[in-house]
Each structure stands twice: as structure tokens, then as C-alpha cells.
């Protein structure tokens, strides 16, 4: 397996990268994925997370259109791509470096996961309830056991985990449908029980009031209510889909799918029609379920859940294909170099996005929570990311690592870097 990613192609005898060696394509892809993740996150940073399952009337036509487009093009897909790249990084740090001096062993990787987990815990408790760092740390503990597994074992487990989640969501959808079609009191009773299962969602008005408050206690109460929902209602799904994406990323790396060569091009073209069908069909179902009404509806939430489990991985794969084609033509031009700089500081920039969002939307900042339309939120995310591109390029012209990356590496290798 050779993850070298030169745009000119790779000779079979080129050795795998040494630990710490940068791969421009993967760095640029991380930068691109980071932008996509922020485009998703900012919608729930600036509006109640429960709005993911409804379409509030106050959004108006253009606000609702912007929300629908964001759900279709961004939600789930970049989250899957981001997790997939964590798996790729795991493989490069451990598998591809076997026999190389400075190889990161299991102990070093576990220390890395510990630091990620600590950062994720603090991040999720005080800044962003949709944090992925803690999820990645937990998934990484499982990923270690796949380190020397065969390629098809990785792919089989990735498909199996997604299949398990999809089966559970399909059962939920089936129960919701039965509750709707059963006549009389039986249907009403079953429907009532089913709707009651979704009562854990926080009150939307209470969230808006809490986040707009200037009181730290009120803001934290709103924040922790959303944090508890994401783990109680979706913790299993988050961990499962992240693990599947990571395993898929390792499999793609081993199969040479990041190499700019003819063989990889042919493999992408064979998979492309299936990915398009699954992405479009799944994301349309997801958007239809999320935009069904102005109230939380168990049936449409289930439709939305099935849709995103199908559509998000497929759309994430499509974005990988499209970005790869762009990088082949762009090479190491100014834009790819700028994205690479941002990708080299992924952890720092990811945390920075949350700090900026807290200042923009919470009461002890500008207090813009639930006041900015979804299209404008998208524009804000792009502007913030552009600033991060400039900042990352400036920082790396003076230092080797970003601040958070330096902390992570020092703890990983237990030495000053």
C-alpha cells in the first residue's frame, strides 16, 4: 500500500511516507472537509439544533430555501468525509510507517486519543455541543483492533455498521408508519407512545431565550440540554457512522484510491453512478423529512434518518471524487496550497470556529442566535474560513505546527516539538 499522492503518479517502489511527512492532497482535502463541516455546524450554532427536524415559519421563503439547500449539499456528507480522513490519518501514522524509524506505536496512538478525548470533552461542554473530537477518540479505541485486519474485513465491517444503523432506523420508520395507518384507538395509542419517545428534544423557545441571555448559567443550561440530546438521541449513530467512515478511509488508502493514477481513476468511475443514485435519493428523502412541517414529527424524523444514512456516505464519496479530479488538474497551485495550510492546522481551526461562533451567537458576545438567516450563516462560514486560510498560511510561514497540533504531537510522542 502506497499513499504517496503526487499529481504525476507514483512508481510502485516509492516507499510509504515517514511519520510527520506531509501529503499535499490529504492536507488540501482536510481543508476542504473542514470548510464543509463548518458550513453544517454553523446552522446549528446559530439556530436551535431541533430545527434540523422542522422548518420554522419565521425563516421565510428564502431562509427555508437556504436551509433546504444546506441540508441537501452539506449535512452528513462532510461529516462522513471528515471522519474518513481521521481513519486515513490513523493508517498513515501506524500501518504505513511500519519498519520506519520513528513509527508511532499503539502506545503513542492511545496517548493521541487521550488528548483528543480531553480536548473534545472540554470543547463539547463549553463551546460546541456537536463536537466530533470526543467521538473520534472513542472510535479510535476500536480502530486500533483493525490495525492488521485484511482489507475486505475493513470494508465488510464498515458496510455492516452502516447496515445495522440503517436497519434500526428502518424499523423505527416502519413502526411510525404502522401507527399512522392503524385505525381508531389502537393507532392513536401507538402513535401517542411513539411520539412520546421523542419528548427528549429541548424546547425551542427556551433554547433561544437561554442562548440570547447574557447570563453564563442560562447559556450553559441551554447548551447542556442540546448536548444531552445529541448523546441520548444520537450517540450510537454518531459513533457508528464515524467508525464506519474511518474503516472505509483505511480501506480506500490501502486500495490506492488516493493515488493520482489510472487504476484509481477507473475504480472511481465504476463507483460513480451508484454513488450519484444513492446520494441524490438519500439526501432528497433526508430533506423531505427535515422540511416536512413546522413541528417535530416522528414519522418524518424517521424518513430523514433513513435518508441521511444512505445519502451522506454516498455524497461524501462524490465530494472526494470531485475534489480529487480538481486536485489532479490544479496540482499544487495557490488555492490547493492555501487549503493544504488550513488542513495542516485542522485541529486549531476546528476549535477556532467554535470560539468565533460562541462570540457571534451567544449572549455574552453579539447575541445573534436565531437572528441570522441560513443563507447569511453560510456566507459567514465562508468568510470566517477564508480568514482561517489566510491565518493558517501566515502561521505556517513562521512555525512548523499549529498551536493545537503542537500540543497534540508533544503529548503523543512525549517530547518537545
Q: Is residue 313 part of a domain?
A: yes
**Domain for residue 55, yes or no?**
yes
Residue 8 confidence (pLDDT) = 34
The angle formed by the CA atoms of residues 246, 252 and 257, to the nearest 5 degrees, is 145
Do the domain assignments include residue 145?
A: yes
Phi, psi of 415 (to 5 degrees): -155, 160
Q: How far apart are the first and last CA of the chain?
A: 29
pLDDT, position 190: 55
CA dist 308 and 18 (Å) reads 37
Q: Look at the chain and report how many structural domains it folds into.
A: 1
| Residue-by-residue pLDDT tens, the chain, 417 positions | 333 333 333 333 334 444 445 678 899 999 999 999 999 999 989 988 776 666 667 777 787 788 888 889 998 899 999 999 999 988 888 765 444 444 567 788 889 999 999 999 999 999 999 999 999 999 999 998 888 888 899 999 999 999 999 898 888 777 777 766 665 555 555 555 555 555 667 778 888 899 998 889 999 999 998 888 888 777 788 899 999 999 999 999 888 888 776 677 888 888 889 999 999 999 998 888 877 655 666 777 778 888 899 999 999 999 999 999 899 887 778 888 999 999 999 999 999 999 999 999 999 889 999 898 889 999 999 999 999 999 999 999 999 999 999 999 999 888 876
Percentages helix, strand, coil for the chain (3-state, rounded to 5) are 75, 0, 25
Residue 124 lies in a domain: yes
In a domain, 245, yes or no: yes
pTM of the entire structure?
Answer: 0.87
Domain membership of residue 112 (yes or no) is yes
Name the residue range of residue 270's domain: 24-413
**Tell me, what's the pLDDT at 10?**
35
The answer to whether residues 345 and 392 touch, using CB atoms and an 8 Å cutoff, is yes
Amino acid at each position: 500500500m502506497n499513499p504517496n499522492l503526487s499529481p504525476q503518479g507514483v512508481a510502485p517502489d516509492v516507499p510509504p511516507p515517514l511519520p510527520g511527512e506531509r501529503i499535499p492532497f490529504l492536507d488540501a482535502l482536510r481543508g476542504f472537509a473542514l470548510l464543509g463541516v463548518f458550513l453544517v455546524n454553523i446552522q446549528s450554532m446559530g439556530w436551535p439544533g431541533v430545527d434540523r427536524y422542522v422548518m420554522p415559519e419565521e425563516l421565510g421563503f428564502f431562509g427555508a430555501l437556504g436551509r433546504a439547500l444546506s441540508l441537501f449539499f452539506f449535512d452528513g456528507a462532510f461529516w462522513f468525509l471528515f471522519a474518513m480522513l481521521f481513519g486515513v490519518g490513523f493508517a498513515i501514522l501506524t500501518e504505513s510507517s511500519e519498519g520506519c524509524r520513528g513509527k508511532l506505536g499503539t502506545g503513542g496512538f492511545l496517548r493521541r486519543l487521550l488528548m483528543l478525548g480531553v480536548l473534545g470533552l472540554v470543547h463539547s461542554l463549553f463551546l460546541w455541543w456537536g463536537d466530533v473530537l470526543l467521538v473520534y477518540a472513542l472510535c479510535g479505541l476500536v480502530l486500533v483492533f483493525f490495525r492488521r485486519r485484511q482489507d475486505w474485513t475493513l470494508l465488510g465491517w464498515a458496510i455492516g455498521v452502516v447496515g445495522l444503523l440503517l436497519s434500526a432506523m428502518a424499523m423505527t420508520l416502519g413502526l411510525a408508519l404502522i401507527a399512522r395507518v392503524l385505525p381508531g384507538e389502537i393507532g392513536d395509542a401507538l402513535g401517542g407512545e411513539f411520539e412520546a419517545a421523542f419528548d427528549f428534544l429541548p424546547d425551542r423557545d427556551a433554547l433561544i431565550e437561554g442562548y440570547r441571555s447574557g447570563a453564563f448559567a442560562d447559556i450553559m443550561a441551554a447548551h447542556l440540554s442540546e448536548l444531552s440530546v445529541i448523546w441520548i438521541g444520537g450517540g450510537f449513530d454518531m459513533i457508528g457512522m464515524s467508525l464506519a467512515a474511518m474503516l472505509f478511509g483505511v480501506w480506500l488508502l490501502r486500495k490506492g484510491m488516493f493515488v493520482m493514477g489510472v487504476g484509481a481513476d477507473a475504480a472511481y468511475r465504476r463507483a460513480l453512478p451508484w454513488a450519484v443514485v444513492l446520494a441524490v435519493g438519500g439526501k432528497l428523502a433526508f430533506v423531505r423529512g427535515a422540511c416536512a412541517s413546522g413541528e417535530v414529527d416522528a414519522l418524518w424524523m424517521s424518513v430523514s434518518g433513513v435518508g441521511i444514512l444512505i445519502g451522506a456516505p454516498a455524497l461524501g464519496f462524490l465530494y472526494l471524487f470531485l475534489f480529487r479530479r480538481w486536485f489532479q488538474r490544479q496540482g499544487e497551485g495557490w488555492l490547493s496550497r492555501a487549503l493544504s495550510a488550513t488542513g495542516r492546522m485542522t485541529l486549531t481551526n476546528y476549535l477556532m470556529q467554535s470560539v468565533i461562533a460562541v462570540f457571534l451567537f451567544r449572549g455574552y458576545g453579539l447575541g445573534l442566535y436565531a437572528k441570522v438567516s441560513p443563507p447569511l450563516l453560510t456566507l459567514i462560514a465562508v468568510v470566517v474560513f477564508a480568514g482561517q486560510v489566510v491565518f493558517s498560511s501566515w502561521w505556517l510561514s513562521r512555525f512548523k505546527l499549529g498551536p493545537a497540533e503542537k500540543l497534540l504531537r508533544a503529548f503523543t510522542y512525549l517530547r518537545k516539538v
